[in-house]
Structure 1
Amino acid sequence: MKTNLILVAAILLALASCSKQEPASPSSTTAASTPAAAPTAAPPASAPAIGQVEIVSELDITPGNVTASKDGRVFASIHGMRRGPVQLIEVTGRNTWVPFPDESWNAKPGSGKDVLNTPHGVLIDGKDRLWVIDHGNWMDKPQPPKLLAFDINSRKLAYRHDFDKTAAPAGQILQDLAVDGDRGFVYVADCGPDPAIVVVDTNKNTARRFRGHPSLQAEDVELVVEGKPLLFPGEGGRMGPARVGINPITLSSDGETVYFGSMNGTSWYSVPARLFREGASDADIGKSIARVGPKPLSDGAATDAEGNHFITNLPDNGIDMLTSTGKLQPLVRDERFLWADNAHFGQDSWLYVAINQLHRNPIFTDAEDRGQPPYLIARIWTGTRGQPGR
């Protein structure tokens, strides 16, 4: 009897010990990433680690910008600096994709009015519309720029705006965009020779151009990636040191603040969106622009529901986080992040990023293209409240 009691006690003690064990956390898909300190609150034990990287797709064509819907569908433009057989895709697997919205829109660039020529910025709004800015450049014969929206479920065209030369003059590079689908306003960054924010009122189907402010301009700072200072075409197409103006642009969760910064810039700025909505003068808009905090040299950014900004860091192969309190800190460093082009949130805290080795392209090197597939779509767990499409 004494032996049986000892055995029962041992079993009960073992069961109690098992019940106190922490659940195993999911393993990271990369040992090269370096997560930042937790933002405002530690994620639950079942969540991925902050800064965890997962590779969504490995592609033989070059994603330009990527966006994810609230139900997990992933879409990407194909970068006009390294063209492929299509211009816009839905990612269907690790190495697979289909043309979006269909093959006719992905016909040969320049072959018709209803064709995607050089789509760049893509973003899904809360109404499941995929917004696409097509600047039409980087072609032997540039095409007129346009803003499109497709319903991702029906694949039908939901909106179209064809820019005139006042809003989008010759030489424009309309590329990143932020969308207020509820109020009907789209904010587009033009990083061309005359940097500007172009605002489209989708209710009236009109556009206005805000230009000339110092915050839109490139700073005189060297963009160095993989140890090499990059070049960029300047006046007359001549190559010179890369100095690119406004590039990433985002919107606050309430749609009331536009955030932006230059690619060759170390400052992140804000401006009240209502000034654009109400048709304020350029002077009043300029006086209302404020510096939010520091930023790395970058090509893309996303803003979460808590007011944190996630900005691609081109020189350091990663993503930085500018907190809502103005502190800049690394979120991830990963040797595979060779030119993290853009960033948009998908489900939960997953931040989707296109990685396309753009710095190896002739437009930045004035030499042969050294890009090596696969080109990547990755996602990073931020531990914050993301907003799909933001």
Structure 2
Amino acid sequence: MKKGILLLACLALACLSACANKKLASLSLKTFPNPSPLEVVAKLPFSPGNVSVCPNGRIFVSVHQFRPAPVRVIEVLPPNLYRPFPNAVWNQQGVSSERRFVAPLGVQCDSHNVLWIVDNGNGRAVVPPKLLAFDVSSGKEVYYFQFPEDVAPRGSFVQDLA
């Protein structure tokens, strides 16, 4: 009886596998309409975290908290220049403040050229995680949200935006 069930199970798996292979074989590869080679827009002296390109073409990069760097969020200015974004004050290192970057990682520019940044904070020891938004034209903060402890408890690692 057990051998019969095992034989039926093997037969069913073989049929399913054949069907799956036939389905995969029928899929065609898609190509992009005008493929272009990758372009290096900057060579930075530190490792980038996340990158976002705004509709107006400006490029913003976070620097991961585990990488040594003098800044945490930058605007890339091709060919090999960068500047702290939104300014040097927000990028001051060693200052634990709600109005400073502590450990930003997720960056995402929206259709209105507003750069959204999620900052992991420092595990609630001093500064909790926060979500910020800056107008890229003016550099002005347009949104600030501090995650409450019931949403991001001590030890949370808030890192990405979709």
TM-score per shorter chain, which class? 0.7 to 0.9
The structure carrying a bigger strand percent of its residues is: 1
| 1:93 corresponds to | 78
1:53-72 matched pairs, under 5 angstroms: 53-72=38-57
Give the drift of 1:61. 1.5
| 1:120 corresponds to | 105
Task: With the length of structure 2 as denominator, give the TM-score of the two structures.
Answer: 0.76
Deviations 1:66-124 (CA, angstroms, capped at 9, x unpaired): 00011211000111011311111000123210000011111124342210100000000
Q: Is the 8 A contact 1:81 1:138 kept in 2?
A: no
Dislocated runs of 4+, deviation >2 Å = 37-40, 108-113
Give the drift of 1:143. 2.5
Other structure's SS at 2:161 match: strand
Give the drift of 1:142. 5.6
| 1:77 corresponds to | 62
The structure carrying a bigger helix percent of its residues is: 2
Q: Does 2:161 match 1:174?
A: no
1:177-326 matched pairs, under 5 angstroms: 177-178=161-162
| 1:102 corresponds to | 87
Deviations 1:14-73 (CA, angstroms, capped at 9, x unpaired): xxxxxxxxxxxxxxxxxxxxxxx8626x52xxx334xx3222211102211000011211
Structure 1 residues 113 and 154: CA distance shift in structure 2, 3 A:
same
Give the distance between the partners of 1:134 and 1:59, measured in 2 at CA.
21
Q: Does 2:140 match 1:156?
A: yes
| 1:48 corresponds to | 35
Q: Does 2:23 match 1:39?
A: no
Letter in 1 for 2:77: T
Give the distance between the partners of 1:56 and 1:39, measured in 2 at CA.
27
Give the distance between the partners of 1:127 and 1:38, measured in 2 at CA.
34
Task: With the length of structure 1 as denominator, give the TM-score of the two structures.
Answer: 0.33
1:15-30 matched pairs, under 5 angstroms: none
Q: Is the 8 A contact 1:118 1:138 kept in 2?
A: no
Q: Is the 8 A contact 1:119 1:135 kept in 2?
A: yes
Give the distance between the partners of 2:94 and 2:161, measured in 1 at CA.
21
Q: Is the 8 A contact 2:85 2:91 kept in 1?
A: yes
Deviations 1:122-160 (CA, angstroms, capped at 9, x unpaired): 000011110000011389x56211000000001100101
| 2:21 corresponds to | none
Other structure's SS at 2:71 match: coil
Q: Is the 8 A contact 2:98 2:127 kept in 1?
A: no
Identity of aligned residues (%): 41
Q: Is the 8 A contact 1:109 1:115 kept in 2?
A: no
May I ask how many residue pairs the two structures share in their alignment? 135
Other structure's SS at 1:174 match: coil
| 1:129 corresponds to | 114
Other structure's SS at 1:53 match: coil
Give the distance between the partners of 2:160 and 2:66, measured in 1 at CA.
15
Q: Does 2:129 match 1:145?
A: yes
Q: Which ranges of structure 1 fall in alignment gaps of 5 or more residues?
A: 1-36, 179-390
1:4-23 matched pairs, under 5 angstroms: none
Q: Which ranges of structure 2 fall in alignment gaps of 5 or more residues?
A: 1-27
